Amino acid sequence: MPANPTSLFPPILPTRQGMLEVDELHTIYWEEVGNPEGVPVVFLHGGPGAGLSPQHRRFFDPQHYRVILFDQRGAGKSTPLGEWRNNTTQLLIEDIEKLRVRFGIDKWLVFGGSWGSTLALAYGEAHPERCLGFILRGIFLCTASEVDWFLNGVRWFYPELYDEFVAPIPEAERGNLLKAYSERMLGTDPEVYWPAARAWSRYEGRRVFLLPQEEEPASDTLDLGVGRLESHYMANLGFFSDDQLVKNVGRIAHLPAVIVQGRYDVICPPLSAYRLHQAWPESRLRMIPDAGHGALEAGISKALVAATEQFKRMGRFD
């Protein structure tokens, strides 16, 4: 365990890193962290489009785990940045399988938060035979009601942010904010797509934590990746059929899973985690009473590290 059980493991550098060409358009960045002979884990970041952070390596005991992290198509160090063409959930699942084969891994623990939880469930339901179990945080099932909440419902809690978000959009277009922002962000004119992407990313970023945080410096990489790819995936409801991830959970219900959810998460509200847990009775739901959406909020990070440690000790979750 870390010296302080509530903290992450110490900062660590990758043992290997590189780029993998996955098709004629996309090349994805990957890195390997920890023990090359350890229990394999695949880390799935959020967004879509948010990319990796060095902090993501720190949920895992590097003596025990072999962690494969990668920037999904269009995110982080993957190229082209913000590219939504040839970018679907089904293609991301294929990329995960290409990485698994690339590293000679038979089965791995699947760890994902927010959109990463969406992708983790989709991957597991497509390839249950390749999964050891799941650690999921801030559940997002990519349903129409969740997308509507993300864009509109949250104004009940953050009316000032909502007003800022809709301000650049003409009143005639405000009835469909997703369409209005998508048309701007997926266009070719940087004078149009950059302001839209920055407004979208700011709208999300300022409600991640339960308590106000000092704002981080603006990141063009994050803004463009998140703005373009979130709107693209939301407009297509994740490329899923209706409530697909809950309806197909039986394919992975035999595998151990822990779900970590912030009680006051206004980006991915607790109902989705609760619905998933109801459909997956053998999963363990950890509702964190003093947290929002952020993986690095104290209660959430503690619960995530506890989950990786418990799986390390027992190969499962109690």
Q: What 8-state DSSP symbol labels residue 104? A: T
pLDDT tens digits, residue range 185-201?
999 999 999 999 999 99
pTM for the full predicted model: 0.95
pLDDT tens digits, residue range 48-78?
999 999 999 999 999 999 999 999 999 999 9
Strand order in the sheet with 39-44: 16-21, 27-34, 65-70, 39-44, 108-113, 131-137, 257-262, 284-288
Planar angle of CA 250, 46, 257, nearest 5 degrees: 30
Mind listing the pLDDT tens digit of every residue in the chain (318 residues)? 454 445 899 999 999 999 999 999 999 999 999 999 999 999 999 999 999 999 999 999 999 999 999 999 999 999 999 999 999 999 999 999 999 999 999 999 999 999 999 999 999 999 999 999 999 999 999 999 999 999 999 999 999 999 999 999 999 999 999 999 999 999 999 999 999 999 999 999 999 999 877 777 778 889 999 999 999 999 999 999 999 999 999 999 999 999 999 999 999 999 999 999 999 999 999 999 999 999 999 999 999 999 999 998 877 665
Instruction: Kindly list the catalytic residues.
Output: 114, 265, 293
Planar angle of CA 212, 216, 217, nearest 5 degrees: 150
195-214 b/e (C-beta count within 10 Å ≥ 16 → b): ebbbbbbbbbbbbbbbeeee
Contact in structure between 28 and 16 (CB atoms under 8 Å): no
What are the residue boundaries of the structural domains of the chain, listed by start? 16-141+240-314, 144-238
Measured CA to CA, the distance from residue 198 to residue 268 in angstroms comes to: 20
Residue 263's pLDDT is what? 98
- As a CATH number, domain 16-141+240-314 is 3.40.50.1820
Closest CA to 136 of 166, 110, 168, 112: 112
